[in-house]
């Protein structure tokens, strides 16, 4: 039986890490995290997630694309963030915080399942992986920025050569950078106002 308090403490301790040590996690650790992702529920049990794991020289090559993705969101962030946090975020995009592992998450969409159910299934797998990173002593950050340059990311990963992609069935949803954390940033308070709507009997 999983301890209830430990479970909720795990959820509360999850936060996005943007600075990492350069040590590469062992292959078996990364495989356990991927396995945790694939334990997620999925619409019609299609298990429609597809993961592409990037490390080493390929990871270093991706930095040029990461820097390019920054151009698509920097103006919005400049209006939202304090100058110091904006500068930190820009550096993160240029280095990915030295994270040694990047996992790109795709959805294999199909006429057999509703679109939002398909992509929702993949995001549930991604959250499992976020929590598995914590258990393994790793940090991670889930990023939507690759969607700014998704065509180039697809080519970079060789996805464009796959039959699923050629049929229009494979869609990039996000990337997860991960590694051993090299900072402990504060976690933004959770907001509940206007988020919860109770119906029926109390």
Return the CATH number at 148: 3.40.109.10
- Whether 149 is in a domain gets the answer yes
**Predicted pLDDT at 100:** 98
Residue 66 has pLDDT above 90, yes or no: yes
Give the number of domains in the chain: 1
Answer whether residue 190 is part of any domain.
no
At residue 1, the pLDDT reads: 82
Does residue 141 fall inside a structural domain?
Answer: yes
Q: What is the mean pLDDT of residues 94-119?
A: 97
Residue 185 lies in a domain: no
**Average pLDDT, rounded, for the chain:** 96
Q: What is the pLDDT of residue 9?
A: 95
- Does 66 reside within a domain? yes
Query: What integer pLDDT is reported at residue 201 of this predicted model?
Result: 82
For the range 38-45, what are the long-range contacts, defined as Cβ-Cβ under 8 Å and sequence gap of 24 or more?
A: 38/125, 39/128, 40/121, 40/124, 40/125, 40/127, 40/128, 41/121, 41/124, 42/121, 42/124, 42/125, 43/113, 43/114, 43/117, 43/118, 43/120, 43/121, 44/112, 44/113
- Where in the sequence is the domain holding 105, given as residue range(s)? 18-179
Residue 202 inside a domain? The answer is no
Residue 2 pLDDT: 85
Instruction: Spell 95-105 as b/e; 16+ CB within 10 A means b.
Output: ebbbbbbbbbb
Q: Is residue 168 a part of any domain in this protein? A: yes
What pLDDT was estimated at residue 50? 98
Contact between 68 and 96 under an 8 Å Cβ cutoff? The reply is no
**Structural domain includes residue 127:** yes
């Amino acid at each position: 039986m999983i301890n209830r308090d430990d479970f909720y403490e795990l959820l509360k301790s999850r936060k996005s890490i943007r600075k990492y040590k350069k040590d590469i996690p062992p292959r078996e650790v990364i495989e356990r995290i991927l396995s945790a992702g694939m334990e997620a529920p999925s619409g019609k049990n299609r298990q429609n997630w597809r993961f592409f794991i990037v490390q080493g020289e390929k990871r270093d090559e991706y930095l040029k694309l990461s820097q390019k993705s920054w151009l698509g969101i920097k103006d919005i962030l400049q209006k939202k963030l304090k100058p110091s946090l904006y500068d930190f975020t820009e550096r993160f995009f240029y280095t990915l915080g030295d994270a040694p592992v990047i996992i790109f998450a795709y959805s294999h969409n199909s006429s057999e399942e509703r679109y939002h159910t398909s992509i929702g299934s993949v995001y549930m797998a991604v959250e499992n992986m976020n929590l598995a990173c914590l258990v393994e002593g790793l940090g991670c950050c889930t990023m939507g920025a690759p969607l700014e340059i998704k065509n180039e990311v697809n080519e970079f990963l060789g996805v464009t050569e796959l039959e699923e992609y050629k049929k229009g069935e494979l869609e990039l949803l996000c990337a997860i950078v991960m590694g051993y954390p090299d900072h402990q940033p504060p976690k933004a308070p959770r907001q509940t106002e206007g988020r919860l709507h109770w119906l029926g009997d109390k």
